Amino acid sequence: MPNMLVELYEEKQKKGEFEVDVEAQPSTVVVEPTQDELFLKWDSTLDDSKHLRGCIVCGGELYQEQAFPQITGIVIVLAFAGAVAGILGLVTTWVMLIAMSVVLVMDIFILFVAKTRLTCYGCNTRFHNTTVAQYHKPWDPDKAAQLKRQSEEPKP
Is the entire prediction scored with pTM above 0.75? no
Q: Which residues have a Cβ under 8 Å from the Cβ of 21 and sit 6 or more positions away?
A: 3, 4
CB 22 within 8 A of CB 4: yes
**Residuewise pLDDT in 10s, the chain (156 residues):** 578 888 988 877 888 888 888 888 888 888 888 888 888 888 888 888 888 888 898 888 899 988 776 677 777 787 778 777 777 777 667 777 777 788 888 878 877 877 888 999 988 899 988 888 888 899 888 988 888 888 777 766
Which has the closest alpha carbon to 41: 32, 33, 53? 53
* Angle made by CA atoms 31, 17, 51, in degrees to the nearest 5: 110
- Residue spans per domain, the chain: 4-66+116-151, 72-112
Maximum Cα–Cα distance across the chain: 70
Phi/psi for 73 (5° steps) reads -60, -40
